[in-house]
Amino acid sequence: MRLKGKVSLISGGATAFKGDPRSEGKDWVLGIGGAAAWLFVREGAAVVLGDLDEDKGKKAAQQLRNAGGRAEFVRLDATNEADWIGAVSFATSKFGRLDILVNAAGTTFIGGAEDTPVDKWDAQMDVHAKAVFLGTKHAIPAMRKNRGGSIVNISSIDGINGNPLGIAYSTGKGASRIFSKAAAIQYAKENIRVNSVHPGYTDTPLARQGIAKLAAAGIPDPRLPKVPLGRLAKAEEIAFGILFLASDESSYVTGAELVIDGGVIAQ
């Protein structure tokens, strides 16, 4: 019960939906935000799932409740300020407080500098930089009432080492990394901690979409040869790092970047 009594809001939370293997196939995976949601309720937290996918988001919340957790869904376009205001208000009115924010919403786009249209660039900046800013901006006042809180921003190893196959994605993830450090310094005296998590190559629905696009372009999956541990991460393995940063066990950790990548950037 490492999060007993705490209330969390997770963007990208619809990836907590566990599909029916009979209808969706047995090779089914959680997203990182979704894996964190399941782990959070197991550790005693109430969870608000924010996402644009209302169907899967509502089903995921119901599945969490069926498993004995406290969970609700709220429609959230993470790039929209009004939606963030509504999501934070929903969480505090439903559960009385907000202690944890996980900015896990994400998309991807495959392309280099010359291959990336301006609208695709803007979309990546919106979801990986602007959304992190907006979530933090509107979670802070609620956390201030509790005299503390934890914000965990899901970046990527691509936000540390550039990826030429996804230049807009890498840039957006890099922005969330630096934003986390700046916000951590600003709010440290209020006991509001801000950290970033940098997953490596993880088997998630979003990653599968990106690899499918590479395959369609005739580009082989470049990931496994780069991983010293020789396999992809599971979303649940990333979620354990998020749990640490969300819990009081990390009470002296702020402005940090937690790399969970099987050794990729150690090379």
Three-state SS at 18: coil
Cα–Cα–Cα angle for 243, 257, 222, rounded to 5 degrees: 95
Catalytic residue among 169, 187, 201, 252: 169
User: Which helix (H) or strand (E) segment is 205 a member of?
Assistant: helix 205-216
Q: Which residue in the block uniquely carries the two structure tokens 């201030």?
A: 144
Sign of the CA dihedral 43, 195, 135, 189? positive
Give the closest residue to 169 by CA, choosing from 135, 138, 134, 213. Answer: 213
In sequence order, the β-bridge partners of residue 194 are: 151
Tokens of 257: 């970047």
The number of beta carbons lying within 10 Å of the beta carbon of residue 120 is: 16
34's CB contacts (< 8 A; 6+ apart) are: 12, 13, 14, 15, 16, 17, 60, 235
User: Which helix (H) or strand (E) segment is 87 a member of?
Assistant: helix 81-95
Known catalytic residue at 169: yes
Angstrom distance (rounded) from CA 185 to CA 178: 11
Q: Which residues have a catalytic role annotated?
A: 169
